[in-house]
């Protein structure tokens, strides 16, 4: 008898079923849909994990792992064992990702090795990608065994990070400062921030001037100088950065005297050389993935990744959005059809995209997460009893997902070229023809309408305007740009971005300065030591390669212990070398601009 047949027998005989989730909120939401035949119990997170006070991984015994039951979860475990013995079937319904799969595996171990001694055939795994009545009923019909490939991928990440952390930390204590700890992916994030700071410090600012002209009579418009003597006024410079390229521009004019001399040579009028107008369309972007949601919330509301994921978790547990940890931009046919019907009814049929708009996944790991983040019910636009943060995030998710099936926005772009004395000025305007999906997202689009001009027509120069600027260095990372860089480099996964940032701030390796990340003196010293002695594990390609290895394990293509053996062989040698040969790194004291009260030195 397979898992689904066992569930059907239980339902036919009206036997009580136990469903296990992580969160009390999720338990309450699911409980409302399932009714009295089910008992829903929350584990409140992990109930079995690696102990906090030792490595608990035996490298000499094929990476044997010593797990420990959380002592604070005694009541939860007692309730699980008691309820499991009374139930005809146990359904493990933790979150639909590697972490959730591992939690289910640990719960199963406790039920089989604890007081209840539940047999294997009585335990099933079910997965809810959204918490709605229909999705729950469908999931119960698709019960399966625990996916040990996903469990092993999570186990490999946990063991890998534990081995790295417990190997690096003692060395950091000796060579940098007592109490420090090092992490595999966190250290790479710190390196990104430290490298960016060095790039900013090395950048040489240059001043330059730009020229524009105020043109027309009663109705004025502005044109910018684009070319002079047949050459572009602007020079682009590309710099190679640690995590990519950075391009900045400056004009050929270096002084105010130069631009004023040029301005006097232009004369009192410009001639219209060319008027070009073309219609362009703009299509909506895909529904949110985890990283894009974190980036958008950081840019629009200044939220940290941790804040965003906390609010998203609540929305998911209340059954309002699909699962919020995802690399996928895919939307189900059901969701697409609902969105298209809603747009047609609420905005008019002309606002519905001519064809179903389908987006392709770019992430290699997207097969693990079934859909992008979307509302579970398009009809729900406001949330009863929600706080303002939940409402803001839900509104963002709702608008972006629904807009995917709306018609493209259409605009007319107009460019006017005006010339005088070997100088080419350009003025660009845009006029909205049809807002399309922008009507749903509410994005503002300012029309800049240019006057109707013909080629050969003369236009009066009312005023020449000169603006002094300087080249700007590459910006420091923000929450949004750091997540974007990690994602672009293939480092971390949806569930890891927020904890990475929280950890490096908590360890005081970086700090926020006006919303941007800046390395502390401790972060700089620690990074300097790690890069010098552990270049491999702090390189972007190596870290991205480890993520790919974990993906291979999740797909059942590689044994996680073999992966660890390969990693440990090289890493162990680096650890021994660093312990023996590395020199101590001096942590600079922060300069406060005050003299020491004892030695009187600044």
CA-CA distance, 430 to 409, in Å (whole number)? 12
Q: What is the dihedral of CA 27, 30, 31, 32, to 10 degrees?
A: 130
Cβ atoms of 306 and 498 closer than 8 Å: yes
479-489 and 497-506 helices, crossing angle to 10°: 120
- Bridge partners, residue 410, by sequence: 281, 434
CA-CA distance, 171 to 576, in Å (whole number)? 10
Cβ atoms of 225 and 423 closer than 8 Å: yes
Q: CA angle 208-213-218, nearest 5°? A: 155
**Annotated catalytic residue, options 323, 330, 347, 509:** 323
- Please tell me the number of Cα atoms within 13 Å of 401 on its side-chain side: 34
- Bridge partners, residue 413, by sequence: 278, 430
For the chain, the maximum distance between any two Cα atoms, rounded to a whole number of angstroms, is 95
Size of the chain in residues: 602
Q: Has 394 been annotated as catalytic?
A: no
C-alpha distances (whole Å) from 222 to each of 94, 462, 468 are: 59, 10, 17
Which residues have a Cβ under 8 Å from the Cβ of 30 and sit 6 or more positions away? 19, 21, 40, 93, 128, 131, 136
CA-CA distance, 351 to 440, in Å (whole number)? 9
Q: How far apart are the first and last CA of the chain?
A: 79
- Bridge partners, residue 414, by sequence: 277, 429
Classified as helix, coil or strand, 550 is: helix
Q: In the 8-state DSSP scheme, what is residue 493?
A: -
Cα 376–chain centre separation: 21
CA-CA distance, 481 to 462, in Å (whole number)? 42
Task: Supply the residues annotated as catalytic.
Answer: 323
């Amino acid at each position: 008898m397979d898992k689904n047949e066992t569930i059907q027998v239980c339902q036919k005989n009206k036997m009580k079923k136990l469903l296990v989730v992580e969160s009390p909120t999720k338990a309450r939401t699911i409980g409302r849909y399932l009714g009295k035949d089910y008992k829903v119990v929350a584990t409140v997170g992990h109930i079995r994990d690696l102990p906090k006070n030792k490595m608990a991984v035996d490298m000499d015994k094929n990476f044997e792992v010593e797990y420990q039951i959380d002592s604070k979860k005694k009541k939860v475990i007692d309730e699980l064992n008691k309820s499991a013995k009374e139930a005809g079937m146990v359904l493990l319904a933790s979150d639909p990702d590697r972490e959730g799969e591992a939690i289910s595996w640990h719960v199963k171990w406790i039920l089989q090795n604890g007081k209840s001694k539940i047999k294997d055939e009585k335990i099933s795994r079910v997965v809810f990608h959204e918490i709605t009545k229909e999705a729950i009923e469908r999931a119960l019909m698709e019960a399966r065994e625990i996916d040990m490939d996903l469990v092993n991928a999570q186990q490999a990440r946990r063991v890998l990070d534990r081995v790295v952390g417990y190997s690096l930390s003692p060395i950091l204590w000796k060579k940098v400062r007592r109490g420090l700890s090092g992490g595999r992916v966190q250290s790479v994030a710190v390196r990104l921030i430290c490298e960016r700071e060095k790039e900013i410090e090395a950048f040489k600012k240059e001043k330059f001037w730009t020229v524009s002209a105020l043109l027309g009579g009663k109705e004025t418009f502005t044109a910018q100088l684009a070319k002079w003597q047949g050459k572009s006024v602007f020079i682009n410079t590309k710099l190679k950065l640690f995590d990519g390229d950075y391009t900045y521009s400056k004009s050929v004019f270096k002084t105010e005297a130069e631009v004023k001399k040029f301005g006097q040579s232009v004369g009192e009028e410009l001639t219209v050389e060319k008027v070009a107008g073309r219609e362009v369309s703009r299509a909506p972007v895909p529904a949110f993935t985890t990283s894009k949601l974190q980036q958008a919330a950081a840019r629009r509301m200044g939220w940290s990744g941790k804040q965003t994921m906390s609010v998203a978790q609540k929305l998911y547990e209340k059954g309002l959005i699909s699962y919020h940890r995802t690399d996928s931009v895919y939307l189900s046919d059901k969701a697409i059809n609902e969105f298209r019907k809603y747009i047609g009814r609420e905005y008019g049929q002309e606002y519905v995209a001519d064809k179903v708009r389908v987006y392709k996944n770019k992430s290699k790991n997207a097969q693990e997460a079934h859909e992008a983040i979307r509302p579970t019910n398009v009809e729900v636009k406001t949330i009863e009893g929600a706080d303002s943060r939940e409402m803001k995030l839900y509104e963002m998710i709702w608008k972006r997902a629904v807009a995917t099936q709306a018609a493209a926005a259409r605009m007319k772009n107009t460019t006017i070229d005006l010339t005088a004395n070997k100088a080419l000025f350009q003025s660009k305007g845009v006029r909205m023809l049809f807002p399309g999906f922008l009507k749903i997202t509410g994005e503002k689009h300012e029309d800049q309408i240019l006057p109707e001009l013909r080629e050969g027509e003369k236009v009066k120069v009312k005023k020449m305007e000169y603006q002094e600027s300087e080249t700007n260095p590459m910006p420091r990372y923000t929450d949004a740009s750091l997540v974007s860089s990690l994602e672009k480099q293939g480092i971390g996964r949806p569930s890891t971005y927020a904890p990475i940032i929280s950890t490096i701030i908590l360890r005081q390796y970086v700090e926020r300065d006006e919303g941007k990340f800046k390395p502390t003196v401790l972060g700089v010293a620690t990074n300097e030591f790690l890069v010098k002695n552990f270049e491999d594990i702090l390189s972007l390609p190596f870290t991205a390669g480890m993520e790919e290895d974990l993906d291979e394990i999740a797909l059942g293509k590689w044994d996680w212990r073999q992966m660890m053996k390969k990693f440990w062989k090289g890493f162990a040698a680096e650890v021994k070398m660093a312990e023996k040969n590395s020199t101590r790194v001096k942590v600079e004291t922060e300069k406060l601009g005050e003299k020491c009260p004892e030695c009187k030195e600044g």
